[in-house]
């Protein structure tokens, strides 16, 4: 049968808007024919699905019924008939499930092939992902995937609504930006402008080889444009749902293009004293104020974090019906690393790591002190109620070949083999006798018969994103879940992690502009904590904490931000004296430095990874499930068959050719 295109009347309802109000009235609906069966007394029943739900159609022996029986499932039809409520015992909870339509006439709008590559109604037997990506227009018909796409729109609109209530201005920043001297992770866009052509346009690029091709680069984040925007004073609160691009070949579950909820605010302070924060905040009882060495000062950017909290609160209230606390818990990086072995700790369960150095023999303590190291332990106690859900997992993990560090089970509460036979200790203990006082360590750690313990040695000053025991902790939770001993609490656990080291030894992380001994832990625009500014200038770089804050949800970093450097002198010092940028690299920041010298206000901002946030809200593992037309992990688009070859003659227009 052929598709129909003679004008037909507008549908009067869809499966959602067809409510009992419409009962007994004439209605017109359009949708996909998704099921059919014959009942008794010449009746036939059909499922009519639209983008919102599914309505049952009822037809007697008629031309309409005959059309609906003949055409292929998944064809689109327009039906006219009379709406009625379904008998009470037949009502279904799905959208459209309490109404039906007695069909009088049917127009076939567009017939579907039969069979289709796979059945988009079958949520239980999914085709393999390659097929589903290739025929994404069929897979998107699947209700759960369609639901994700709609939730994404709801969340985006909710987020925008809060931004507008808070006086933010949405500003679109360029996607075609300048390539950076490193060029790593960056997509290039060749242009038909050659160096010579641009030079003729009086651009200051210099008059070199006339054919030298010129490139834009796709923005990796709106970081520089948004700082320049705030420096301009055009707006004091900026936001954007910004598309960003990163050429990260081979990282799991990354997309070459992704979306960031991006914000920046002017007049952000470099800190607030705890007292000035007021009693209401402490009254939540949920706020751990980082006091270690900060003299009761919070790091700056509280104005930003307040807005972020209100956004997250609104989203969770609207999408999940959950009321979150007014302020989220705050934890320093040091504390997070010490207690949970992670800079993005999952607080939905306990299993805290302990520093057992103080319980060790003095001689060993002195060795460790000299090495700047500590010994940490993770215990799963047999008699502990809170550890109980992890006991079987501990048993399983301690026998596993692949465990990160060796786990010991105690034969009784005085068993000290875990201490004396542990390579973690023997590597540094030399001929120090560990047995002496070992029993008292057991008591101090409340170790009991049958309990498990894992040990690890690390530098006292934490580095990186996780420790061995942090990974053991997560593995235990995953195992316990799979053994069904443990169910993750459904309540979301939000956490701010603050006071990260501002700089990282370049040998530990070579990612960003690392020529000298130091690289920026996050990016070179992050401000130091004001208490640490003098340390920075005096060369105690390792001790400088940054005004960076990560937002962590259930062990996943969903966003991060910072107070930025607004002082051109300080920014220049960071570029020149700490990061030791070369001339060309520094030149690429000249406009930023100049903007700071034109009276830039103090400012700070934040960015959420929107795809990851949506994956969490849609309770799916892969961000591909929350993107309408995603690419594979390798960056190929199976639907549009991209990337693709290009004719050499077209490349030539851009001044390039194949290698």
Hey, which residues between 78 and 137 contact a copy of itself (CB under 8 A)?
78, 109-113, 116, 130, 135-137
Q: Which two tokens stand for residue 86?
A: 């379904």
Size of the site for a copy of itself (CB under 8 A): 155
Contact 512, 519 (CB under 8 A): yes
221 binds a copy of itself (CB under 8 A): no
Q: How far is the CB of 303 from a copy of itself (least distance, A)?
A: 6
Q: Among residue numbers 292 through 331, which ones bind a copy of itself (CB under 8 A)? A: 297, 300, 303
Taking the least distance from each CB to a copy of itself, the nearer of 12 and 396 is 12
Q: How far is the CB of 623 from a copy of itself (least distance, A)?
A: 12
Q: Among residue numbers 595 through 634, which ones bind a copy of itself (CB under 8 A)? A: 595-602, 627-629, 631-632, 634
Going by C-beta distance under 8 Å and a sequence separation of 6 or more, which residues neighbour residue 578?
A: 503, 516, 518, 536, 541
Stretch of 47-55, 390-398, 487-495, 499-507 contacting a copy of itself, by CB under 8 A: 47-55
Q: Among residue numbers 131 through 170, which ones bind a copy of itself (CB under 8 A)? A: 135-141, 145-146, 149-150, 152-153, 156-157, 160, 164, 169-170
Taking the least distance from each CB to a copy of itself, the nearer of 578 and 600 is 600
Q: Among residue numbers 184 through 213, which ones bind a copy of itself (CB under 8 A)? A: 187-193, 195, 198, 201-205, 208-209, 211-213
Q: How far is the CB of 204 from a copy of itself (least distance, A)?
A: 7
> Which DSSP letter does residue 4 get?
-
464 binds a copy of itself (CB under 8 A): no
243 binds a copy of itself (CB under 8 A): yes
- Helices 143-165 and 302-320 pack at an angle, to 10 degrees, of 140
Stretch of 94-102, 232-240, 389-397, 442-450 contacting a copy of itself, by CB under 8 A: 232-240
Q: Which two tokens stand for residue 529?
A: 């904590």
567 binds a copy of itself (CB under 8 A): yes
Which one among 245, 316, 408, 606 touches a copy of itself, defined by CB under 8 A? Answer: 245
557 binds a copy of itself (CB under 8 A): no
279 binds a copy of itself (CB under 8 A): no
Residues 55, 57: Cα–Cα separation, whole Å: 6
Contact 470, 412 (CB under 8 A): no
What own/partner pairs with CB < 8 Å and gap ≥ 24 does 397-401 have?
A: 397/472, 397/475, 397/476, 397/479, 398/452
Q: How far is the CB of 500 from a copy of itself (least distance, A)?
A: 18
Which one among 13, 47, 49, 545 touches a copy of itself, defined by CB under 8 A? Answer: 49
**473 membership: H or E segment, kind and range:** helix 468-482
If you write DSSP's letter for every residue of 123-151 in order, what string do you get?
SSSPPPHHHHHHTHHHHTTSHHHHHHHHH
Which one among 568, 577, 616, 620 touches a copy of itself, defined by CB under 8 A? Answer: 568
Residues 352, 345: Cα–Cα separation, whole Å: 10
Taking the least distance from each CB to a copy of itself, the nearer of 279 and 650 is 650
- Helices 468-482 and 333-340 pack at an angle, to 10 degrees, of 60
If you write DSSP's letter for every residue of 445-470 in order, what string do you get?
TT--TT-EEEEEEEESS--SSB-HHH
Side-chain-side CA neighbours of 256 within 13 Å: the count stands at 18
41 binds a copy of itself (CB under 8 A): no
Q: How far is the CB of 302 from a copy of itself (least distance, A)?
A: 8
Phi and psi for 307 in degrees, rounded to 5?
-65, -45
Taking the least distance from each CB to a copy of itself, the nearer of 177 and 380 is 177
Which one among 35, 105, 221, 232 touches a copy of itself, defined by CB under 8 A? Answer: 232
Cα–Cα–Cα angle for 110, 114, 117, nearest 5°?
Answer: 105
Side-chain-side CA neighbours of 109 within 13 Å: the count stands at 16
């Amino acid at each position: 049968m052929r598709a129909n295109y003679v004008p037909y009347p507008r549908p009067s309802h869809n499966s959602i808007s067809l409510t009992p109000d419409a009962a007994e009235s004439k209605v017109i609906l359009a949708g996909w024919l998704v099921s059919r069966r014959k009942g008794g007394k010449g009746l036939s029943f059909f499922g009519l699905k639209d983008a919102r739900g599914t309505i049952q159609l009822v037809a007697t022996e008629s031309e309409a019924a005959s059309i609906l029986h003949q055409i292929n499932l998944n064809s689109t039809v327009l039906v006219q008939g009379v709406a009625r409520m379904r008998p009470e015992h037949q009502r279904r909870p799905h959208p459209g499930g309490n109404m039906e339509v007695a069909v009088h006439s049917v127009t076939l709008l567009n017939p579907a092939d039969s069979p289709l590559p796979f059945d988009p109604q079958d949520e239980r037997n999914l085709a393999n992902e390659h097929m589903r990506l290739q025929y994404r227009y069929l897979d998107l018909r699947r209700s759960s995937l369609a639901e994700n796409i709609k939730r994404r729109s709801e969340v985006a609109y909710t987020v925008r609504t809060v931004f507008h209530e808070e006086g933010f201005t949405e500003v679109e920043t360029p996607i075609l930006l300048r390539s950076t001297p490193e060029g790593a992770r960056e997509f290039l866009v060749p242009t038909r402008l050659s160096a010579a052509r641009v030079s003729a346009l009086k651009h200051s690029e210099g008059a070199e080889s006339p054919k030298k091709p010129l490139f834009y680069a796709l923005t990796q984040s709106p970081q520089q444009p948004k700082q320049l925007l705030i420096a301009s004073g055009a707006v004091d609160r900026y936001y954007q749902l910004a598309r960003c691009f990163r050429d990260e070949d081979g990282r799991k579950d990354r997309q070459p293009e992704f979306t960031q909820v991006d914000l920046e605010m002017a007049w952000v302070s470099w800190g607030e004293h705890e007292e000035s924060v007021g009693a209401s905040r402490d009254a939540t009882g949920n706020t751990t104020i980082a006091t270690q060495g900060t003299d009761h000062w919070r790091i700056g950017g509280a104005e930003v974090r307040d807005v972020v909290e209100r956004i997250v609160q609104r989203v969770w209230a609207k999408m999940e019906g959950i009321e979150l606390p007014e302020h989220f818990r705050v934890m320093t990086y040091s504390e997070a690393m010490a207690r949970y072995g992670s800079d993005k700790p999952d607080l939905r369960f306990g299993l805290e790591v302990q520093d057992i150095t103080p319980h060790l023999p003095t001689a060993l303590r002195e060795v460790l002190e000299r090495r700047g190291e500590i010994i940490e332990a993770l215990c799963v106690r047999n008699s502990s109620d809170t550890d109980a859900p992890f006991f079987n997992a501990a048993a399983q993990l301690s026998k596993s070949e692949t465990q990160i560090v060796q786990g010991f089970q105690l034969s009784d509460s005085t068993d000290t083999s875990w201490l004396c036979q542990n390579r973690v200790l023997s590597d540094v203990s030399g001929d120090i006798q560990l047995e002496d006082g070992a029993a008292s360590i057991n008591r101090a750690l409340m170790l009991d018969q049958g309990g498990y313990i894992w040990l690890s040695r690390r530098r006292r000053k934490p580095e990186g994103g996780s420790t061995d025991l942090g990974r053991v902790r997560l593995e235990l939770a995953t195992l316990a879940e799979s053994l069904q001993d443990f169910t993750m609490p459904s309540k979301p656990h939000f956490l701010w992690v603050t006071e990260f080291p501002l700089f990282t030894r370049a040998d530990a992380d070579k990612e960003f502009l690392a020529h000298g001994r130091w690289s920026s832990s996050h990016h070179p625009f992050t401000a130091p904590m004001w208490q640490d500014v003098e340390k920075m200038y005096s060369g105690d770089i390792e001790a400088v904490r940054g005004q960076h804050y990560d937002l962590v949800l259930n062990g996943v970093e969903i966003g991060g931000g910072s107070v930025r450097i607004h002082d051109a002198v300080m920014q220049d010092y960071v570029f020149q004296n700490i990061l030791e940028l070369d001339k060309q690299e520094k030149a690429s920041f000249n406009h930023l430095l100049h903007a700071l010298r034109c009276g830039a206000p103090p400012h700070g901002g934040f960015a959420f990874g929107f795809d990851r946030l949506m994956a969490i809200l849609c309770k799916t593992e892969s961000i591909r499930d929350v993107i309408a037309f995603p690419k594979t992990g390798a960056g190929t688009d199976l639907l549009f068959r991209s990337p693709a070859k290009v004719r050499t003659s077209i490349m030539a227009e851009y001044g390039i050719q194949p290698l």
